[in-house]
Structure 1
Amino acid sequence: MPDQPYTDDDLRAEAARQHAALTEDPEYMCVGEQMADHIVESTREDGAPRNWDSVLRLNADDYEQFEAAQRRVHALVAGAADVSEWAVDLGADGLEPTGYVLSVGAAERTIARIHFAFEPGMHDDMRTALVEGVGQAIADAL
Structure 2
Amino acid sequence: MTTHYTDADLRAEAVRQHREHAANLDHALGAIADKWIGKTIGTSNRYWDLLDWQARETAREALYNLLAYATDLSEWAIAMGADALQPSSHAITLIGGDAPRARIHLAFDPDMPQDARRALTALIGEAVQDALADNT
Q: Give me the whole-angstrom Cα distance separating, in 2, the residues matched to 1:66 and 1:36.
A: 12
Which residue does the alignment assign to 1:105? 95
Whole-Å separation in 1 of the counterparts to 2:59 and 2:5:
44
Which residue is 2:115 aligned to? 125
Q: Is the 8 A contact 1:102 1:114 kept in 2?
A: yes
User: For residue 134 of structure 1, what is the amino acid of its counterpart?
Assistant: I
Give distance in 2, aligned partners of 1:41 and 1:116: 24
Between the aligned partners of 1:83 and 1:115, the Cα distance in structure 2 is 11
- Compute the TM-score of the two structures, normalised by the length of structure 2: 0.87
Q: How many corresponding residue pairs?
A: 130
Partner of 2:4: 5
3-state SS, counterpart of residue 86 of structure 1: helix
Shift of 1:124: 1.1
Among 47, 51, 54, the alignment partner of 1:51 is: 47
Q: TM-score, normalised by structure 1?
A: 0.84
* Structure 2 residue runs without a partner (length 5+): none
- Unaligned ranges ≥5, structure 1: 44-48, 58-62
Alignment identity in percent? 37
Counterpart check, 1:39 vs 2:37: no
The 1:67/1:6 distance shift into structure 2, 3 A limit, reads: same
Residue 42 of structure 1, CA deviation: 4.2
Runs of 4+ in 1 over 3 A off after TM superposition: none
Which residue does 1:22 correspond to in 2? 21
1:19 is matched by which residue type in structure 2? H
Contact 1:25-1:78 at 8 Å conserved across structures? no
Q: Deviations over 1:19-52 (max 9, x none)?
A: 1111102222111221333221142xxxxx2321
Deviations 1:71-123 (A, max 9, x none): 11011112211101111111110011121111112362111111111111111
1:46 paired residue number: none
Structure 1 residues 100 and 21: CA distance shift in structure 2, 3 A: same
**Counterpart-to-counterpart distance in 2, 1:37 and 1:70:** 16
